[in-house]
Amino acid sequence: MEREAVTPERAAETRASDALVSAARAGDRMAFGRLYDRYARMVHGILLCRVPPRDVDDLVQEVFLLALQQLHSLRDISRFGAWLTTITRNRANDHYRKASPVDRSTDPAAEEQAESRTNDPVVEQEAAMTLAVLRTLPETYRESLTLRLVEGMTGPEIAARMGLTHGSVRVNLHRGMHMLREKLAEKPRGSGKALGAE
């Protein structure tokens, strides 16, 4: 397998993250705050794929509290993003296991509509339907697309934050978008016309 070339920007980003992780491990709370700023959208997007939207913001805080408490256990500081991704997925799984059957059966589309920040019912309905369909995709595609479409992260940014190659993220976005468009086209009022993640 051919190794992806590391761009100067990616190398600089990695060095900056590594320096922040090292400082945070040494007790620098401002460095940890900067890590929060850098990774909060990623954590939010991963959680949004897995738990009811009303719980996401609280769980983001819990994930970072867990990360702060466990930061000393991180063996390779260059893997902080992948490590944080694992903590996020585990916290979402724990939350889901502890949820009551009523919480688990809540219609995500209806709930997302209630959480929407727009006053346009058509936009709310389309956003809710798109998110509900997006949640049915395989995890790899679901996460990448949520980070791209909902959190507004670029492909290279997703790769850098999650510790993935840019090529794998590009493939995930391309294939995931294709699957999302197909599923939306099956919906009576949905179309993927406005979607463009590539």
pLDDT on residue 189: 52
Measured distance between the N- and C-terminal CA atoms of the chain, rounded to whole angstroms? 24
43-85 confidence digits (pLDDT tens): 999 999 899 889 999 999 999 999 999 999 999 999 999 999 9
Q: What angle do CA 8, 11, 15 make, to 5 degrees?
A: 140
Q: Residue type at 98? A: K
User: Domain-by-domain residue ranges, the chain?
Assistant: 8-186
Instruction: Decide if pLDDT at 193 tops 70.
Output: no
pLDDT on residue 195: 54
The pLDDT mean for the chain works out to 83
Half-sphere exposure of residue 51: CA atoms within 13 angstroms, side-chain side: 25
By CB atoms closer than 10 A (0-12, 13-18, 19+), residue 131 is buried
Short-list 95, 83, 2, CA closest to 56: 95
Over residues 32-41, the mean pLDDT reads 96
Over residues 179-191, the mean pLDDT reads 76
CA distance 197 to 17: 26
The domain 8-186 is placed in CATH, from the list 3.40.50.40, 2.60.120.10, 3.40.980.10, 1.10.1740.10, at 1.10.1740.10
73-82 confidence digits (pLDDT tens): 999 999 999 9
CA distance 83 to 163: 9
Confidence of residue 192 (pLDDT cuts 50, 70, 90): very low
User: Can you say how many angstroms the Cα of residue 4 is from the centroid of all Cα atoms in its chain?
Assistant: 23
